Amino acid sequence: MGESAVPLASGPSDPSGSTGEALLSVRGLTKHFGTNVAVDDVSFDIARGGSLAIVGESGSGKTTIAKMVVGLLAPTSGTITTCGHDRSTPARGAAERRRRGAEVQIVFQDPYSSLDPRQSGASAIDEVLALHRGGSSADRALRVAELGDLVGLDDRQLRALPKALSGGQRQRVAIARALAAEPQLLILDESVAALDVSIQAQVLNLLADVRADTGVSYLLISHDLAVVRQITDDVIVMHRGVVVERGATRDVLDHPQAAYTRLLRASVPTPGWRPRRRSEWTDAPDLSDVSDVSAG
């Protein structure tokens, strides 16, 4: 099903939602794994300085989209344009990967699997700085310390191996490493899910400050609607690889139009919440038709 009119995710200086130059433009993105359709004809734009969330349950296709945008997966069909360049196919060669790395970086959900277990956080960050920014070792060491302070890591933690850090500390290393390349687009794939509530709030505030100060754009992959509300301007909701709703984050979360979006919002626990067996459900919405309501 085609998606023609796709609004830009407006930046923080343009809360009205008026369109601007697209940093990332995705059109007709489709991904098949054998006979399974993981992503089906998805289109969206993110403006420079904008932020867009993709939400949905596991298996909805949101992480598959993130991997295609960053170049880890090739789409079956469709186009991906970043910073005016066609990035529809994975990079070939080190020089091309370096150029793309200065455009887009990703922070994965599981930092332990994305960090080298033999490399300290400081070394991992310094490696990115040397590759993308250059400079003397002394200058890079200062920048490593700055990035560590930005994400709440002291010198001892930066010099520790991943196995000596908590899950939250490892994720902060991963965020600092991604920011070291000074990308124009940062993909956050459930990137605060591993943090405890207090640290999560600090990192979310940090991400908001970084975006305001640098103009970096965010593509957030998340199931946490509170996180989506805090740091994104726009949202698309996916179900079984298809976009079922899109719009301004506040509008979609406060006044959802699609049955699936209403189900997602209703699934958020509230004070006094008690889990119910499926046999007890009497108010579950009908999901037999999850047509895309975004076309208006």
In this structure, the number of other CB atoms found within 10 A of the CB of residue 112 comes to 15
Whether residue 215 is predicted with pLDDT greater than 90 in this model: the reply is: no
Higher pLDDT, 282 or 86: 86
Q: Rounded distance, CA 98 to CA 207, Å?
A: 24
The predicted structure's pLDDT at residue 12: 39
The predicted structure's pLDDT at residue 17: 39
Q: Rounded distance, CA 188 to CA 201, Å?
A: 15
| Mean pLDDT, all residues of the chain | 84
The predicted structure's pLDDT at residue 82: 93
- Kindly report, residue by residue over 31-80, the tens digit of the pLDDT: 999 999 999 999 999 999 999 999 998 889 999 999 999 999 999 999 99
Instruction: List the one residue out of 257, 62, 239, 287 whose CA is nearest residue 247.
Output: 257
Q: Rounded distance, CA 51 to CA 233, Å?
A: 5
Q: Which residue has the tokens 């047509």?
A: 291
The predicted structure's pLDDT at residue 273: 62
Whether residue 220 is predicted with pLDDT greater than 90 in this model: the reply is: yes
The predicted structure's pLDDT at residue 201: 81
Domain 7-98+184-231 falls in which CATH fold? Answer: Rossmann fold (3.40.50)
Phi, psi (rounded to 5 degrees) for 102: -80, -10
Q: Percent of the chain, pLDDT > 70?
A: 83
In the chain, domain spans: 7-98+184-231, 115-182
